[in-house]
Amino acid sequence: MTSRASGFGIAGLPRIARGEGSYLFDESGKRYLDGSGGPAVFSLGHGHPEVNAAITEQLNHVAHGYRYLFTSAAMDDLTATVLRLCGGCFQDIVYTSSGSEAVESALKIALQYHAARGLMKKRRFLARKRSWHGNTLGALSVSDFTERRRAFEGSLLEVTFVSAANAYRPPEGVASDALTQHLAAELDTTIQSLGPENVAAFIFEPIVGAAGGVVPAPAGYATAVQAVCTKYDVLLIADEVMCGSGRSGTWRALEHDNVVPDVMAIAKGLAGGYIPLGAALIAPRIAAPIRAEHGAYMTGHTFSGHTAACAAGLAVQRIIERDSLLARVRFAGASLQEAIRHALSKFEEVGDVRGRGYFIGIELVRDRHTKAPFPKHRALSFAIGASAFAHGLICYPCSGNVNGIDGDTIIIAPPYNATDVELEEIVVGLTRAVGSALSRT
């Protein structure tokens, strides 16, 4: 595993053969514990017989009914289930086949909402530094991930970025207890400088994933930025592709903050990686003018609401709810995070362990006091990932979390149904990998 393992493929990979629960097996028979769920995707692990049976049953009837010709029991039942799990705070769902498409749809819905109200100047998006929202040109435009943007600069939307909401690395001179107020004021000032009549929406991850290494926003942040957005008729878009669908211990990550966004993007854990599936969820006040003016949402693709994918998502969500796995994620997640923090405390290079539920990040630093990062050429996170992988543990290494270039983090995001023994195995394997990578010059 090298620095190219940041999500875009590398040569010489082992060939996957099968999956069983929290484990994957390659063609040589080697076993890997999936400690990060790939990139925080596999909410029920691999090869779950009930999910496989639901998919097979749907395929035995029909794989997909094109959305402009048919609805389906699978899609209708999944829609009702997701809206209920969200507490009834959303009205409509636009299905996609990925998180990137879900974010792209959310951006388009924001623009369509303002267009439906005759506000065609509201075209500008605001986002945060050190954020990642996806690979489509629109989603990439609102992402501040230098390595992933560089090749496409010049063809991206013009987007304005405000500071990251990172209590471990606050803006210079800002105390931790003043961070939320500072960030809300910055957002307010930025909207004023652009002209509120020009700003369509502010998009953020409630818990930053790959771009920051699992960074929960400080207390009160979501409430504060929502108030600013409401003040200026700017939509609030929550990207919960990675942190949502139960990953952080509540179905919506923003449940923790008692905040409901105008539009929310989800994916990864929705169908647990069994078939690609994502969605954009729309609040009633956003849905009303769009339906009145345009009749429907002007976004979607050939495979939107794919019937077999919805059957997979429905099975995954029913199992999670039936088996009370979100409660498991909340309580076992806190214990797992503490176990990781304790095990890694002997390494001076471990600067921070953070997260919520089964979404945990570890940040490596050259100096705990100054929080100075390792330089990019050290590729420390990928060395840790490679060492872990060689010994049969999958974790998710990320780089560039400090300034887009330097910095190293590791993400741990096990299946919601991982056993206590498997969680202990993750801690042991991660500790060994960190020690091995740090011992190399």
Q: Domain locations in the chain?
A: 3-47+324-438, 52-322
As given in the structure block, the two tokens for residue 440 are 């190399």
372, exposed or middle or buried, with CB in 10 Å at 0-12, 13-18, 19+? middle
Same fold, 3-47+324-438 and 52-322: no
- What pLDDT score does 4 carry? 39
Q: How far apart are CA 38 and CA 42, in angstroms?
A: 7
Q: How far apart are CA 177 and CA 36, in angstroms?
A: 32
- What pLDDT score does 440 carry? 85
Beta bridge partners of 215: 208
Query: Tell me: the pLDDT tens digits for 131-152?
Result: 999 999 999 999 998 889 999 9
- What pLDDT score does 1 carry? 40
- What pLDDT score does 441 carry? 55
Q: Does domain 52-322 have CATH number 3.40.50.300?
A: no
DSSP 14: P
Hunting for tokens 């969200």 — which residue is that? 86
Q: 3-47+324-438 maps to which CATH number?
A: 3.90.1150.10
> Which residue positions in the chain have pLDDT lower than 50?
1-9
Q: How far apart are CA 188 and CA 63, in angstroms?
A: 48
Q: How far apart are CA 145 and CA 53, in angstroms?
A: 39
CB 114 within 8 A of CB 278: no
CB 398 within 8 A of CB 210: yes
- What pLDDT score does 407 carry? 96
- What pLDDT score does 146 carry? 87
Cα dihedral 81, 87, 90, 95 sign: negative
- What pLDDT score does 137 carry? 97
Helix (H, G, I), strand (E, B) or coil at 253: helix
